[in-house]
Amino acid sequence: MLLISDVHGAFEAVAALRPLNQPLLVLGDLLNLLDYRTGEGITADVLGRDFAVAAADARATGDYEGMRRLWRDHATDPDVMRAAFHDAAVHQYEMAGAALNGIQAWVTYGNVDRPALMRAHLPESSVFVDGDVVEIDGVSFGFVGGGTETPLGAQGEVSDDDMRSKLSAMGRVDVLCSHLPPAVEPLYRDVVTGRLERGSQPILEYLEESEPLFHFFGDVHQPQASRWRVGRTICQNVGYFRATRRPVTFDPAVVRRLRAGGR
């Protein structure tokens, strides 16, 4: 099977996976709201590239107040702006649905996504998953979508309490799939910006208590470490798909072999 995360509008690269004829796990952030490297995305389309670059600079330094001030200054008609962002998100999800059409996929959401809108535009070949356990080739995969809460209050953000509830209801699984990394600093430190991004304490607690064999995630585009071990769990960032265009390959038979060996 293949795993990707942080697609951020690279839908032609998703469609290019179809001939591989493998199951696909998508770990969030389909929308390209704002590419912090180039300024491209919905923000630039709606409010202009100069605004997008200024917002990217504020986000890179963690200046959320500066970001809110920028939005306030440019939101001369909030209703019109919200409608424009909604329409642009619908257009991108339509492209995502077309790219995923015909691919057997399980898709969860990230912090920049709009979960209800995403779910509505997935093709019949894809399944929206959040707080769900799916058995694939005899291996149980648990999915929890969403990013951590920030002052921006985006639709894809999830409180720690809600994340704990989803994980608790899910129970033990062989493989955990999330958008967020666990709260292990090298996994959520971005080496390009030099900033600590977002790590999930509830996910770390789940790994320590439930001990899945593997944990796959995304969110941090240039992590200090892409692979780590928490107890017996191997944690892996599956990469910034918009930039790499490369999925991670995983064979569920590895889990079956480890279980047979008593690990």
**For the chain, what is the domain count?**
1
Is the pLDDT assigned to residue 68 strictly greater than 90?
Answer: no
Please check whether residue 78 lies inside any domain of the structure. Answer: no
Q: Is residue 39 part of a domain?
A: no
Percent of residues, the chain, with pLDDT higher than 90: 75
Handedness of CA 63, 227, 118, 142 (dihedral sign): negative
Cβ atoms 47, 81 nearer than 8 A: yes
Give domain status of residue 160, yes or no: yes
State the residue for tokens 């944990």. Answer: 215
Residue 16, φ and ψ in degrees, nearest 5: -70, -15
**Which of 237, 228, 231, 198 has the alpha carbon at shortest distance from 212?**
231
Mean pLDDT of 4-10: 98
The span from the CA of 167 to the CA of 201, in Å, is 12
pLDDT over 60 (residue 263):
no
For residue 196, tell me if it sits in a domain: yes
Residue 210's pLDDT is: 97
At 60 the pLDDT is 66
Rounded mean pLDDT of 67-87?
A: 80
Chain-centre distance of CA 32, in angstroms?
12
43 lies in some domain:
no
179: CATH? 3.60.21.10
Instruction: Show the domain range for 28.
Output: 2-32+99-260
pTM for the structure as a whole: 0.92
Residue 59 lies in a domain: no
pLDDT at 146: 97
Residue 45 lies in a domain: no
- In sequence order, the 6+-apart residues with CB closer than 8 A to the CB of 166 are 130, 131, 144, 158
Say if residue 160's pLDDT is above 80: yes
Residue 163: which H helix or E strand, with range? Answer: helix 160-170
For residues 177-195, average pLDDT: 93
At residue 195, does pLDDT exceed 70?
yes
Structural domain contains residue 62: no
* Section 241-258 average pLDDT: 96
Residue-wise pLDDT for 26-67, tens only, equals 999 999 998 888 888 998 888 888 877 777 777 666 677 777
Helical (H) or strand (E) element with 216: strand 214-217
Query: 132 and 143 in contact (C-beta within 8 Å)?
Result: yes
